[in-house]
Amino acid sequence: MSSKDDKELKEVYNIIFQEVARLLLIEKKQVQIVASTLLAQSLRLYKSSLNDDDFIRMMNSIPDSIDKIIPYDELTPEDKQTIN
């Protein structure tokens, strides 16, 4: 990943992080509703941008990531880790 891509990734991550925090903390939306909406939108983006084989490969890799996923309350926008 280039430094330009890394900068863009951090920028987008921070924007979405702030919006999720707003929805949860200010708007008092349900966590499961916010999470399911983000997941649905993410899968739709992947389905639109990947070919069928890559999409299936990505979907099949999800169970392998279970132990790598950090609870949301342990993440901050400044964390260098990302969940893709």
Q: At residue 77, what is the residue type?
A: P
**Cβ atoms of residues 82 and 18 within 8 Å:** no
DSSP 5-20: HHHHHHHHHHHHHHHH
* Site of tokens 């993440």: 75
Tens digit of pLDDT for each residue in 7-45? 999 999 999 999 999 999 999 999 999 999 999 999 999
More confident residue, 73 or 59: 59
Q: For the chain, what is the mean pLDDT?
A: 89
Residue 20's alpha-carbon distances to 38, 49, 50, 71, in angstroms, are 9, 23, 25, 14
Sorting pLDDT into bands at 50, 70 and 90, what band is 71?
confident
Q: Is 38 exposed, middle or buried (0-12, 13-18, 19+ CB in 10 A)?
A: middle
More confident residue, 33 or 67: 33
pLDDT at 77 over 80: no
